[in-house]
Amino acid sequence: MTIKLAVLQSGDQIIADVSEVVSEDKQPIAYLFKKPQRLKYNTPIFLSEENSAETSVEVTLSNWITVSDDDDVPVSINQVVALVNPIASVVKMYNEKVNGKPSN
C-alpha cells in the first residue's frame, strides 16, 4: 500500500492508495486511486514571523466522488500536478477513515 497525496489540475488535494497504470509498452498512462478522499482545510493558514516554526492546520477528509460506489478510480496522468508523501498524522487519519483502524 502506497498512500500518496495528489494535487490535481483542478486544485483538489486527494489522498489515496495510489498505483501506476501502464500501457502495453510500459508507459505510464494513469494513476489508480484506491479509496480516494478529498482533503479540505477547515481553517485558513496564517503565516507570521512572530510564531514559532510549528504550524497547525485542521483538515477534513471526505469521499472524493460522493455519489460513486467505486473504491478504485482511474485518473489520467496529465491531471496530476504533484504526487507527494502526506504527513504521518494525515496518513493515520486516512487509514482510520477508510479502514476503521490506524496503520502500524
- Residue 74: CA atoms inside 13 Å, Cβ hemisphere, count? 7
pLDDT digit string, tens, across residues 2-25: 999 999 999 999 999 999 999 999
Residue 15 lies in a domain: yes
Strand partners, 38: 14, 62
Q: Residue 78: which CATH number?
A: 2.30.30.100
SS3 8: strand
As given in the structure block, the three cell numbers for residue 20 are 501506476
- Reported as a single tens digit per residue, the pLDDT across 82-99 is 999 999 999 999 999 998
The answer as to whether 40 is a domain residue is yes
Query: Quick one: pLDDT at residue 74?
Result: 97
- In total, how many domains does the chain have? 1
Sign of the Cα pseudo-torsion (37, 87, 82, 45, in order): positive
Cell 490506524 -> residue: 102
On whether residue 84 sits in a domain, the answer given is yes
The domain containing residue 93 runs over which residues? 3-99
Q: Is residue 83 part of a domain?
A: yes
- pTM here is 0.83
